[in-house]
Structure 1
Amino acid sequence: MSQAPITPITLQGAAGKLAAWVAQPPADVETRGTALLVPGFTGSKEDFTDLVPMLAAAGYRTYAYDQRGQWESEGPDEVSGYTMADFVGDLQGVVDQVSPDAPLHLVGHSFGGYVSRVAVVERPARFRSFTLLASGPSSVEEINFPPPALVAQAVEAGGQEIIWQQLNAAMTMADQQPTAERLEFLHRRIMATKKANIIGILTCMTEPPLKDPSALRDSGVPLLVAYGDTNDLWAPAVHENFARELGAKTAVYRGSGHVPNEDVPAQVCADLVNFWKEQA
């Protein structure tokens, strides 16, 4: 599959400018709709470097953005500016900016899936479909992650470098060997992400994203639960059970971990496109 070029753009959030990307379908490809990709904790639009152009080449105008205070996006310096309502409000504003006249396909990776599911429940008519990508039920239970409140305390004391050390350790445990260039980028991104963003997200993670997950099932928006079966933050059975509770379709990436969007982007693209075509 040919790929479409990525164009950097700026969107507007409630707390400042949001750095974003867009890739348009090639002139000889029918435009089938709009897709929006939302990154997770410590992430950014760059988590979708391969996926964005692939989806555009398949006929979907595709956007990805850094959430407030992440990487190249502006955000407040106070933790109080990073509540779930703040993240959701930005997402709803982005939806209205990139697809004001039609519902779009939403993909939320990890914490981006937390934010996205709240947005879907709030305004289901704005979404043609919603995909939870490596985004389990919550960070409160059934997750392989230290208690978020304790991590937040460590970050408060030691700053972004604490999260970098944890990420390095996690990559080592998962036997991942990024290139020196990749490691340099990951470190630079963590250090550029506002400390308040990191603590704010960790604070959000101390509670389930939805008090009643059935609200997502009952939204009427078609749902896909997509996940890797190796070294994800949630065991495959947790994702499977969550999908069953939601009445969602599933896509499983054998041998992939928490970032199938980076590990196997072509497979993720194919599954998303097939799922989206069902909603046409």
Structure 2
Amino acid sequence: MSQAPIITPITLRGAAGKLAAWEVEPPAGTERRGTALLVPGFTGSKEDFEEMLPLLAAAGYRAVAYDQRGQWESDGPDEVSGYTLVDFVGDLLGVVDQISPTEPIHLVGHSFGGYVSRVAVIERPQRFRSFTLLASGPSSVADINFPPPLLVAQAVEAGGQEVIWEQMDAVMAQADQQPAPQRREFLRERILRTKKANIIGILTCMAEPPVKDPAVLRDSGVPLLVAYGDTADLWAPEVHERFAKQLNAKTAVYHGSGHVPNEDVPAQVSADLVAFWKEQA
């Protein structure tokens, strides 16, 4: 019987210092099908994919996730100027070159991680075998259930990371989705340890669509998948569906899931990714 895949902490290099990451290798004897990179979103981290990474590895994929600059356990500058979309994209492309110097990889971007990822795909499409937008809609300024990003940035500037935590905690309480005490403490600590400049920088990035014309991403030649939950996501299902049509992308819908299907239904998301990736073999 083959051993279950094990998550291994690794350190990657970013332009602003070390990037904390997790890596899972396929079990011995499993056919190796390639490498997958999963990129977390706003206030997220590699832990957002904790349940998915071993499942992807069991299917034959070396799976890697990392904290973006200034998130959780990764280094990052203290100045907001060090958190432009160019900075995030540069880190992502550097990570790709570190984990797979010659072979193209499968890329998954969750929420803001999808913003960063779509720019990377446009800049260097030859480095990607596929790209999945996971709960990552077209923009954060229209057709989204989120306050104007620059207004949130002003609140964080005045009140610090605690402002974001209080908002998140209130939303979970109103939705009757309060996590277990240990999980709640992790979520709080992660936000408080994420650099204030990271949070304000990402919110500033979110004030503009990452790609103004979907045709640019569509015409990259990289196979695309738009995957999303149909309940209480930041973007309504019809927004995701319209975006997918503009991109000529396949879709995967998670009924009853919200903005984090990677945590709500990790087995289903993983199975859909594997099926999509096998089509690109």
Deviation per residue, 1:174-203 (Å, 9 max, x gap): 321200000000000000000000000000
Question: Is there any run of 5+ residues in structure 1 with no aligned partner, and where?
Answer: none
Unpaired runs of 5+ residues, structure 2, are none
The residue type paired with residue 8 of structure 1 is P
SS in 2 for 1:255: coil
Q: What amino acid maps onto 2:111 in structure 1?
A: S
Q: Kindly indicate whether residue 215 of structure 2 is the aligned counterpart of residue 214 of structure 1.
A: yes
Q: What is the one-letter code of the residue matched to 1:203?
A: T
Equivalent residue letter for 1:69? G
Are residues 1:150 and 2:162 paired? no
Aligned with 2:257: secondary structure?
A: coil
CA distance in 2, matches of 1:211, 1:251: 23
TM-score normalised by the chain length of structure 1: 0.99
Distance across 1 between alignment mates of 2:41 and 2:194: 12
Tell me the amino acid that sits aligned with residue 237 of structure 2.
Answer: P
Moved over 3 A (4+): none
Q: Which amino acid aligns with 1:264?
A: V
The answer for the alignment partner of 1:129 in structure 2 is 130
Between the aligned partners of 2:3 and 2:147, the Cα distance in structure 1 is 41
Alignment match, 2:246 = 245
For residues 158-183 of structure 1, the C-alpha deviation after alignment (integer angstroms, 9 at most, x for no partner) is 00000001111221233212000000
**Is the Cα contact below 8 Å between 1:174 and 1:231 reproduced in 2?**
no
Cα deviation code 1:4-24 (max 9, x no counterpart): 100000000000000001000
SS in structure 2 opposite 1:138? coil
Deviation for aligned residue 1:212: 1.8
Three-state SS of the structure 2 residue aligned to 1:234 is coil
Structure 1 residue 2: Cα displacement: 7.4
Residues 232 and 259, structure 2, Cα contact 8 Å, conserved in 1: yes
The 8 Å contact of residues 3 and 27 in structure 2, kept in 1 or not, is answered as: no
- DSSP-derived class of the 1:36 partner: strand
Q: Which amino acid aligns with 2:117?
A: S
- CA distance in 1 between counterparts of 2:90 and 2:54 reads 26
Percent identity of paired positions between Structure 1 and Structure 2: 79
Aligned to 1:53: 54
How big is the shift at 1:99? 0.6
Give how far 1:3 is off. 3.9
Aligned partner of residue 63 in structure 1, secondary structure = strand
Give CA-to-partner distance per residue, 1:47-93, whole Å, 9 cap, x none.
Answer: 00000111001100000000000000000000000000000000000
Match of residue 225 from structure 2: 224
- Superposition map of 1:23-102 within 5 A: 23-102=24-103
1:2 and 1:54 in contact (8 A); partners too: no
Q: Write the distance in 2 (CA, Å) between the matches of 1:91 and 1:188.
A: 24
Q: Secondary structure at the match of 1:149?
A: helix
Deviates more, 1:83-92 or 1:165-174: 165-174
RMSD value over aligned CA atoms? 1.0
Note if 1:116 corresponds to 2:78: no
Rounded to whole Å, the distance in 1 between the matches of 2:232 and 2:39 is 21
CA separation in 1, counterparts of 2:120 and 2:37? 13
Matched AA of 2:229 = G
Looking at structure 2, the residues matched to 267 and 240 of structure 1 have their Cα atoms a distance apart, in angstroms, of: 19
**In structure 2, what is the equivalent of residue 180 of structure 1?**
181
Partner SS state of residue 128, structure 1: strand
How many aligned positions are there?
Answer: 280
